[in-house]
Structure formats: structure tokens, C-alpha cells
Structure 1
Amino acid sequence: MILKSPRLWVAAAAFAAAPAFAQNIAVVNGTPIPKSRADAMVAQLVQQGQTDSPQLQQAVRQELVNREILMQEAIRRGIPNRADVKAQVAVAQQTVVLRAMIEDFLKKNQPTDAEVKARYDDLVKGVGGNREYHLHHILVDNEQQAKDLIAKIKAGAKFEDLAKQYSKDPGSGKNGGDLDWSDPKAYVPEFAAAAQKLQKGQMTDEP
């Protein structure tokens, strides 16, 4: 991003000539950039997988200087005073605060191994050991249409092609009738009962 403004060049020159104190990494047009801000950005990048190094710290320093130069230009233009910008800043601030609160809570409330196992056991019980099936279907208007399609598939037609052509289900039809992995109990009882009787690669003989 390049702003053709002489003020940016002035800011850059001011940064180059200004001394940086121990608690600041730089001073841009009289505005200090605190070391804590750089430390926070470095910590965030390290958390994302980068390695803390002099090169990374220098890159962060330059990034923060560039941001400060652009921020000063944005302030000059009155952008921070716009209602839409204020609303977005408020949302971002709330997100940061809530994330920090959650992280603080998790640090102070680490679950024990016993608690983790108990929670796992509860989840297993909740699932009830139900098997999931990768199902395909073709939804049609009546039984005769279903029988005709079954006959075509047995004669060599591809299930997926017929599903795309005839299925009334707009979601799965375009995907060859694919319902993805699911618990048959999520469907109507008749469909669930038929699905649970099938072996891998099998198709129902009756609609």
C-alpha cells in the first residue's frame, strides 16, 4: 500500500532521526512505539509457529513503524472518527478482551486427567456407540419410479448418474445422492432400518 503524501515522507524522516528509549522501540513524529507492543506481536507470531529471532524482531519493529506512519495519516484524514470504523474497533476490542478472559480462565482451571477421562466417558455414553454409515439415496415421487431406477442400476447404470438426473433432493442429488457420514437414526425409521441391514457397497432391492 503506497500513499502519495509528503506527510509520510516527513514521518519517515522524523523516525530515522528520533532517538528510541529503552521502553520504546522507535519514535515516529514524536509518537513512541512501546516495546510491549512489539513483544505482544512477536509472541503472537511465535504462537503461530514462527521462531523468535533478531530477524523476526527487526521485521516486527519495521512493521510497527510502518503501521504508525499510516495510522498518523489515517488520523489526519479523520478516519478513526467515522461511525463504521468506531463500530468495528469496538467489536475487535471486545473480541480481544473476551479471548484474554478465556485464556486466563483456562490457565487457572486446567482439568485433571481424571476429569478429562470422565468427560470422555460421558461423551461416549451420549453417542451410545452408534455406528455411522456413508449413505447415498435417490429421492423420487413414487414407488414405481424407485423400482425403475433400481432395475436400471442392476442393469449397469451408475447410481450417481441416476441420482443427479432423477433425485428430488436438491442437496444430495447434485452430489450423486451422497448423504455423507451419518447415524441412520437421524432419518425416518424405514430408511434407518433399511440402511442398517446393508453391507458396504450394497443397495436395497426394494424402495
Structure 2
Amino acid sequence: MKRIAFAILTFALAGAALPLAASAEDKVIATIDGKPITEGDLAVAESEIGSDMGTMPGPQKRVSLLEFLIDNQLFAEAAESEKLDQGADFQTRLAYLKRRALRELYFDKVIKSSVTEDEARKIYDEQVKLLKPEEEVSARHILVDTEEQAKALKEKIDKGADFAQLAKENSKDPGSKDDGGNLGYFGHGQMVPQFEDVVFKLQKGQVSDPVKTQFGWHLVKLEDRRTKQPPAFDVVKDRIMQSLLLRKAQQTAVALRAKSKIEIVDPDIKKAADERNAMIQKQSQPKPADAPTDAAKP
């Protein structure tokens, strides 16, 4: 909530001369001494502080945004009454906020709108083609303390006892016991080596001999074997589009800088910037081949 408080003070000081105003088609949601607060104002406030509200329910979020706008306007009017809207400090803040508003509009209207679902789908399809087939299995297990217990249970299973029922009655694994020892699907590297070495060698429906791990003694039954499927596009779409958005924003920043003449006048800042750029350039250069050591010389 620190960002909210900061935004209130910033807008109060910098926006004192900018009272909220409703356009003809903008719905009024509240008034302060007759001055309207509109849906448009609410939308701008949400773009400013909405991410700080987490998963707040919709109606509650709207109330919080309205409270923010009310405080924003009241602080602005209080600042105006103190004549804080006059002088160089106010003009500097106003110019900065204008540039920031234009930057955000450009980001939303130009960069963000250029990222399409079709583009994300193309990247997804390309990445799926590069994935190597990966085997995964579904298994159940029974975990007990001793080898003797595991052998006794194995005898019962060999005579026709139900594996899942024995797991419910005897397994000491709290995470799978109530589900008949079901571990679901998993791939290589997700289980301890002793367990994995056994389960991936079983045939479907086969039950292993007792297996010892650091957790105790296991009986393992292979339920199924399949090739792991990639995540569905809808599951990863937002992540891909966010990555695309970041890449396009970076590319746009580089292109805009390339077209501009940027000169750092402050000597201390220039020195620090030059040192940083030199370090970045050094880190990006390929490392030379290792020179021979004295021990390797004839």
C-alpha cells in the first residue's frame, strides 16, 4: 500500500490545478462539492494502483479506487489552497507526469496492441516442435517401516489382495495413503533414485519387490505409462504474451534511443554511466582461450 500513499501525495501536489472532469459520455459515479468523479477517472486510477490491490473482489476494488480518487481530489484542492500549484516545482512535476502519462498511453495503444494471440500461438507451435518426447508414468506405492512388513504385504498382493486398499490400511505416506497410494503421473528426476530406478522398469499392472529409500520400504505398482504432453496453449498463453510484450518494449526503447542524440551533461552521472557501459561491454565479449600455465610449458 506504500505505492498508493505515494500516488495520493504525488497527485495531490502535482495535480492540484487539474480537477476531475466528466466528458459527455463518461458516467459520473460520485461528486465532491459538485465536481464529478467518473468511470474514466476510475479506469485511470486502476491503471495506476490496481496491481497493488491483488485479488480484491470487484465491488470492493471499485470502492477502494473511489476512496483513492476522493482523497486525491481533496489533497489536490488543499495543495491549491496553499498555492502549491504556483512556481517551478509544480511545473516540473506537471511536466514529468505528462511525460509519464504519454509513455503509458504509447505503451498501451502502440506496443501492447501490437502483441497478438496469433503471434503467441506461432511461438507456442514452434516451441512444441522442439520438445523431445519425454516418458512419464503413473504409479501407486505403499510405504512401511521394515522389509518384513513390505514382504508380508507383497504376499497378500500376489494372492489377489487389492493394492489400493492395502495402501489405505498400511501406508505411512500421508500424501497418498487416503487415495490408495496414488502418486499420479511423474517424469524422470521427480522421485528419489532408488524409487525411480524400479518404477520405470515395471510393466503396466506389475508390483515391485520391496524397495528401500531414505523414507522406508516401498511396494510400487505401475498404473500407466505415456509420453508427456506439452502444456495446452491456453495455460501458457499469458506468459508467452507477457514475454512478447517485454521484448517489444525493449526493442522499441533501443530503436528510439538509436534515433536520438542523448548527451549526459552531469560529469558524475556521465562517469558512472561510462563505467557501467564499459563493464557491460566487457561482460558481453567472448572470453579468450585459456593461456597455457607454467606447468604446461616445455
Q: Return the structure number with greater strand share.
A: 2
Q: Return the structure number with greater helix share.
A: 1
Between the two structures, name the one with larger relative contact order (CA 8 Å, sep ≥ 6): 2
